[in-house]
Amino acid sequence: MFRAAGLMLAALLPLGAAAQEQDPWQLYEAPVAQYGWMERVRIETLTRYFDLEAKLDTGADSSSLHATDIEVFEREGQNWLRFTTQDQRLEQPIARRVRIKQKNGQPAQERWVVRLDLCIGQVFIPADFSLVDRSDFSTPVLLGRDVLQHLGPVNPELKFTAEPQCPRQ
């Protein structure tokens, strides 16, 4: 009886309804078998793209991007950020604000978050990045578990296993 009810319910749903819902984390290509602890990635904004080195950090909850001169402004009733990265002045809508716990005993940091498109290997996904001055770190990008969960295993013995090869969106 339950099986027949399920079949009847399925018949009532419009064809292709599931296909119309698009998962923003959908992978456009299969990920490589393993990623290294450091990879080259492409970050795409509304107007530009940058190829950068990124540290893949399974110990970090979230991802971050090096940014300085961060300013909030309003455009058409929406809050945006203006910031500098890779010697370029960019503007992006604000996704949210987060509080990041510091591991060195320092007080938590408040950071702005923007959503940017990320290409690693042949995988293209939207990703949220908190903006922070990373000039004291080895890479301008840190990819945390929020992104890594959509990619695949990270091998700490490998570096640069996948060049960004996604078609520009």
Q: How far apart are the first and last CA of the chain?
A: 48
Q: What pLDDT shows up at residue 11?
A: 39
- The full set of domains in the chain, from first to last, is 26-159 (2.40.70.10)
Q: Single out the residue of 68, 94, 69, 67 nearest to residue 81, CA to CA.
A: 94
pLDDT tens, residue order, the chain (169 aa): 433 433 333 333 333 334 444 455 555 455 567 899 999 999 988 788 899 999 999 999 999 999 999 999 999 999 999 999 989 999 999 999 998 887 777 888 899 999 999 999 888 999 999 999 998 999 999 999 999 998 889 999 999 998 898 876 6
Could you list the beta-strand ranges (E) of 2-144: 35-44, 49-56, 63-66, 68-75, 78-85, 88-93, 96-100, 109-120, 123-132, 141-143
